[in-house]
Each structure stands twice: as C-alpha cells, then as structure tokens.
Amino acid sequence: MPEKKYTYLALGDSYTIGESVSILENFPSQTVQLLRKSGYDFLAPEILAMTGWTTKDLLETIQKTKLLSSYDYITLLIGVNNQFQEIDINEYKKDFEALLKKAISLAGDKTRHVFVLSIPDWGATPFAEDRLSNGKTKDRRKISAEIDEYNMINQLLSRQYKVHYIDITPGTREAARDESLLTNDKLHPSGKEYARWATPVFALISNALH
C-alpha cells in the first residue's frame, strides 16, 4: 500500500502568499520543507491567498474555488486588510468565524488540524511611519492597538472552536529594530521572518503525526 501523502491548505492574504519573497520562502512552503526533512510525505501546500484580501474577499473566493473535499492540515491568517481599510471590526468577527467554520469543515471536522496565526503588526514597519491613509498619517500606536483588537477576536474564536492558535505578533514588532525581518518594500516579512512562523506550525503538525 503506498505511503500516505499529506495535504495542507493555507488560507490568507499577502502574509500567506509571501508578497515580495520567492514561493519557497513563504511560511506554508517553509513548513512543508521542514516536514519533508523530518520524513513526512507532504504535497506542495495549496495556497488560497492574495495581497490585499479582506476576510470577505477570502470567503467569496473559497465559495467560487474548487477545493479538495478535505485536507489534512489547514492554516488561516487573515485580517490585516480589514484593519488597513478601516472596515467595521464586527464584520471581521462575523467573517472570521465563518472562515474558521469552513476551515474546520475542510479539515474533516478535526479542530486540532486547524491552525490560526495572529495578524502581524505592520505598524512596526518603516512603511507605516509615513503612510498616508484617507488624508491622515497612520499613527504607529493606533495601528498596533487596532491589530491587538483584531487578534483578541481571532484568539477568542480559536479557543471557542478548539483550534490551535499561534501568536506571531510580538515577533513581528521586532521589525522596528531589525529590518532583516522585512523585504525591500519595508512592509512585508522576509523569508527569515517567515521561518519563525513556519517553525511552530511544523512543530504542532509534527506532534500530531507522531
């Protein structure tokens, strides 16, 4: 009987697709590379993500996309564009819960095979320093405070639905002092930063496979 090939679906936005880095440097690809090195036979990650997507964009795309009936593991990281576009946070809560339910369903209702990653804090980046939005300067502290509010919601929902929650946000704030954690656009994470996200995802999946 052939050895099982594991499947992994990554849902999100620019932070999942890996804006400004090579396809092998985004965190889903780095996660699979670590799993393969540990002897697990994983197919390339299926990534459903695009720069600029809000929760609503992701929901609508899932509904229109022909996906597998189920996946062995799923990650979900979404919300920064809701915050950036100043969309009502209650809409984020509603959409995120719908996305989480869909992710659990696609994982064959195995809640511990779903991994939510917290939203990175782009307020710590040089890009945020002089960014103009709607004619006003985005205040770094305001961005960070709003990101914390969004993450409070996705963390509470993760606990409610008993999925794994990985808090990557504190590490992303180190970009204020270490620009090697960013790409040349001074906004998106570098492969080095994505490696720090892939490590805990790999560890949790590896533990589940033992």
Task: Report pLDDT for 3.
Answer: 74
Task: Report pLDDT for 30.
Answer: 98
Contact at 8 Å (CB) between 41 and 5? yes
Q: Is residue 133 part of a domain?
A: yes
Task: Report pLDDT for 138.
Answer: 60
Contact at 8 Å (CB) between 96 and 161? no
Q: Is residue 110 part of a domain?
A: yes
Q: Which amino acid is at 10?
A: A
Task: Report pLDDT for 95.
Answer: 98
List the chain pLDDT tens, one digit each, 210 residues.
457 899 999 999 999 999 999 999 999 999 999 999 999 999 999 999 999 999 999 999 999 999 999 999 999 999 999 999 999 999 999 999 999 999 999 999 999 999 999 999 999 999 887 664 545 556 888 999 999 999 999 999 999 999 999 999 999 999 999 999 999 999 999 999 999 999 999 999 999 998
The residue range of the domain holding 188 is 8-209
Q: What is the CATH number of the domain that holds 109?
A: 3.40.50.1110
| Burial class of 48 by CB neighbour count within 10 A (0 to 12, 13 to 18, 19+) | middle
Q: Is residue 47 part of a domain?
A: yes
Separation CA 115–CA 201 (nearest Å): 7
- Structure token digits, residue 24: 């092998």
Q: Is residue 3 part of a domain?
A: no
What pTM did the predictor assign? 0.95
Domain count, the chain: 1
Task: Report pLDDT for 198.
Answer: 98
Per the rule left: phi > 0, alpha: psi between -120 and 50, beta: everything else, 72 is alpha
Q: Is residue 2 part of a domain?
A: no
Q: What are phi and psi of 8, to 5 degrees?
A: -145, 125
Q: Which amino acid is at 164?
A: H
